[in-house]
Chains A and B, each alone.
Chain A
């Protein structure tokens, strides 16, 4: 069975500090991968997607970047955090179908 793991579970970071969030999918070969951001109490906004290793497409510019260094890994990062980066970050995967399956999320608080 497939599993999706996100790390860390939660982070508290200072404005201007760097950030790296990770997502790993096990049990699926060559999935499509996605990053979403959710403001507290808000809806989800797609940030990036990737259909293959080394290729990432940006959907929304939020001073964040993403990389896919391995088939089963998707990384979200920034060199300088802003207060507006606070929220809930969700990784998702899909295969041939359009439906996406989400990870447990990482809660980020920027102070």
Chain B
């Protein structure tokens, strides 16, 4: 069985600052990894995904993530945040389409002007 750990429940950053959200996964095989964002009272939107190949993947709205197999990590980064990036970010892992996604507890990001 797979699991995901997001160690930071809340992160507060100033607008224009950089952001890094941590994610570590546990899975014996090669995982499929995802980052999703959830705005208040809405569903989840896919930010980016990693299947294989280049360990640095680009997503929407300037987000990127790096897969580090030796560390079982898939951290999310953004060079310069905007107030509209305030949301909850979920890291997720999947073994295959049938098993669905296993999510971390999420990190709530607050961006202040």
Contacts and interface: CB of A to CB of B under 8 A. Distances in A.
A34 to B, nearest CB: 5
Most chain B beta-carbon contacts within 10 A, residue among A43, A57, A101: A43
B11 interface: no
20 contacts: A34-B100, A42-B105, A43-B104, A43-B106, A44-B44, A46-B101, A49-B98, A51-B98, A59-B100, A90-B44, A92-B44, A97-B97, A98-B32, A98-B96, A99-B32, A100-B101, A102-B36, A104-B43, A105-B42, A107-B41
A99 B46 contact: yes
The 7 closest A-B pairs by CB, nearest first: A102-B43, A46-B100, A102-B44, A98-B32, A44-B103, A43-B105, A104-B43
Contacts of A102: 36, 43-45
Contacts of A49: 98, 100
Interface residue range, chain A: 20 to 34
A42 B108 CA distance: 11
Contacts of A42: 105-106
Contacts, number: 55
A102 B100 CA distance: 12
Interface of B: 32, 34, 36, 41-46, 49, 51, 90, 94, 96-98, 100-106
Nearest to A6: B43
A100 B32 CA distance: 12
A103 interface: yes
Interface of A is mostly: strand
A73 interface: no
A34 B97 CA distance: 10
Contacts of A34: 100
A100 B98 CA distance: 11
A29 B56 CA distance: 32
A42 B49 CA distance: 22
A43 B42 CA distance: 14
Given A42-B106, A57-B98, A99-B49, 4 more contacts: A43-B90, A46-B100, A59-B100, A102-B44
